[in-house]
Amino acid sequence: MSTRWRLFFSYLAVIVVLVVALSLAVRSLAIHAVTTHMTGMGRGGMRYLMTEEIQGAINAGVNQGVLWGALAGLVAAVIASYLVSGWITRPLAHMADAADKIAAGDFGQRVSHAGRDEIGRFAIAFNNMAGQLEQTETLRRELLGTISHEIRTPLATIEGYMQGLIDGVIPEEPETYELVRREAARLSRLVTDIERLSRLEAGAEPISPRQMDAAEAVEAAAASLKPQFANAALSLDIDCGDPCPKVWADPDKFTQILGNLLSNSLRYTPPGGTVKVTVRSEHAMVAFTVEDNGTGIPAADLPRIFERFYRVDKSRSSAGGGSGIGLAVAKALVEQMGGSISAESVPGEYTRVTFRLPRWN
């Protein structure tokens, strides 16, 4: 049954109840009044006859009144149910149409909302949802585009080298094979990164945080990278403060976060530079800062470096280049453990990435 008919029948029910109650009340009130009046006149003999007659007249009057009243009510009910159902159903029908279009892929759909009533609020919620969907869809498209682009570059290089080898225009020497191997390695690293990130974002990688000594945690994470720092002629300083705070984190994830930040500093700091890890407690959090005096990040790129696949130097395709996922992974992990991450930088001077995790002492 449509809203219009429902409203009409509910009005009709109200009219019927009103008409019956009103006619009964009027009838009994009128009879009572007349009877009292007659009794007051003190002519008992005529009372019964008069009352009978008057009662008939009253009934007729009431019936007529009720009939007209009911008719007027009916007309009002038809008009009111038509108008009110229009007010209610028109915006709902709009939203249903918009939802259908969104489902069909037109994510730009929005509905207009005038009132502050429930329908107005519903329209606002609907538009918010549509906006979120549009954003997700845009992200998804961008991501697909980036992934295919990232995969295409090393694939094209491998293909080019192989074709060159087949045609005999590229010499068959160890360096050639090494170049091809490096591109293949880059591809497989990319796939691993994508896999890890998607697992992370889907919440498929459970975290098991526990109390950790921040100094030990930093040492453990830095240990595996120390040889690389030595090779790159970079000094690595760790300053934990005294006393060194305790932190609430998952040890493996912590190692991964700090490892990602340290390997960035390693990659973007020229030989002779310094990388410094500082640990400080800040109210309920522990702040871990990785600072280097390397290339730095331009202000325009800074807000985007935590995005998936975002790299400042987009053209970089040499084997040393990452896929631009390290910071996105770090951010997802930090946030999963109830923390936050941010970066500041002055190009040519320093880059400082700070992440905060809950303190535990």
Ligand X SMILES: Nc1ncnc2c1ncn2[C@@H]1O[C@H](COP(=O)(O)OP(=O)(O)O)[C@@H](O)[C@H]1O
Contact set with Mg ion (CB under 5 A): 264, 322, 326
Cβ proximity to Mg ion, 264 vs 281, nearer residue? 264
Count of helix runs (H) and strand runs (E) in the chain: 8, 7
* Longest distance between any two alpha carbons in the chain, whole Å: 138
Q: Does 151 bind ligand X (CB under 6 A)?
A: no
CA dihedral angle for residue 49, residue 51, residue 57, residue 59, rounded to 10 degrees: -130
Residue 281 binding result from Mg ion, ligand X, none, given CB thresholds of 5 to 8 Å by partner type: none
Of the candidates 205, 156, 186, 145, the residue with the CA atom closest to the CA atom of residue 337: 205
Amino acid at 312: V
Cβ proximity to ligand X, 258 vs 328, nearer residue? 328
Among 70, 158, 240, 305, the residue binding ligand X under the rule CB under 6 A is 305
Q: Least CB distance from residue 286 to ligand X, whole Å? A: 21
> Please, which residues have CB within 8 angstroms of residue 199's CB and are 6 or more apart in sequence?
205
Cβ proximity to ligand X, 70 vs 343, nearer residue? 343
Q: Least CB distance from residue 287 to ligand X, whole Å? A: 17
Q: Least CB distance from residue 298 to ligand X, whole Å? A: 9
Question: How far is the C-alpha of 74 from the C-alpha of 18, rounded, in Å?
Answer: 12
> Please, which residues have CB within 8 angstroms of residue 7's CB and are 6 or more apart in sequence?
80, 81, 84, 85
Q: Residue with the closest Cβ to Mg ion?
A: 326
Of the candidates 156, 330, 169, 175, the residue with the CA atom closest to the CA atom of residue 260: 330
Question: How far is the C-alpha of 22 from the C-alpha of 29, rounded, in Å?
Answer: 10
Residue 325 binding result from Mg ion, ligand X, none, given CB thresholds of 5 to 8 Å by partner type: ligand X
x/- binding map, residues 325-344, to ligand X, per CB under 6 A? xxxx----------------
Question: How far is the C-alpha of 158 from the C-alpha of 49, rounded, in Å?
Answer: 117
**Number of residues in contact with ligand X under rule CB under 6 A:** 22
Q: Least CB distance from residue 263 to Mg ion, whole Å? A: 6
Its sign, for the CA torsion 32, 38, 42, 47, is negative
* HSE value, Cβ hemisphere, 13 Å, CA-based, for 215: 7
* Residue 200 token pair: 């992370």
* Residue 232 token pair: 């790159």
Q: What angle do CA 354, 189, 303 make, to 5 degrees?
A: 30
Q: Does 311 bind ligand X (CB under 6 A)?
A: yes
Among 324, 332, 354, 355, the residue binding ligand X under the rule CB under 6 A is 324
Q: Does 351 bind ligand X (CB under 6 A)?
A: yes
Cβ proximity to ligand X, 265 vs 281, nearer residue? 265
Cβ proximity to Mg ion, 157 vs 323, nearer residue? 323
Q: Does 265 bind ligand X (CB under 6 A)?
A: yes
Among 157, 264, 293, 354, the residue binding ligand X under the rule CB under 6 A is 264
Q: Which stretch binds ligand X (CB under 6 A): 19-27, 158-166, 232-240, 295-303?
A: 295-303
**CB of 247 closer than 8 Å to CB of 286:** yes
Q: Which stretch binds ligand X (CB under 6 A): 67-75, 99-107, 122-130, 294-302?
A: 294-302
**CB of 18 closer than 8 Å to CB of 73:** yes
Residue 339 binding result from ligand X, Mg ion, none, given CB thresholds of 5 to 8 Å by partner type: none
Q: Which stretch binds ligand X (CB under 6 A): 28-36, 93-101, 227-235, 321-329?
A: 321-329
Question: How far is the C-alpha of 37 from the C-alpha of 33, rounded, in Å?
Answer: 6
Residue 18 binding result from Mg ion, ligand X, none, given CB thresholds of 5 to 8 Å by partner type: none
Contacts with ligand X by CB under 6 A lie at 260, 264-265, 268, 292, 294-297, 305, 310-313, 322-328, 351
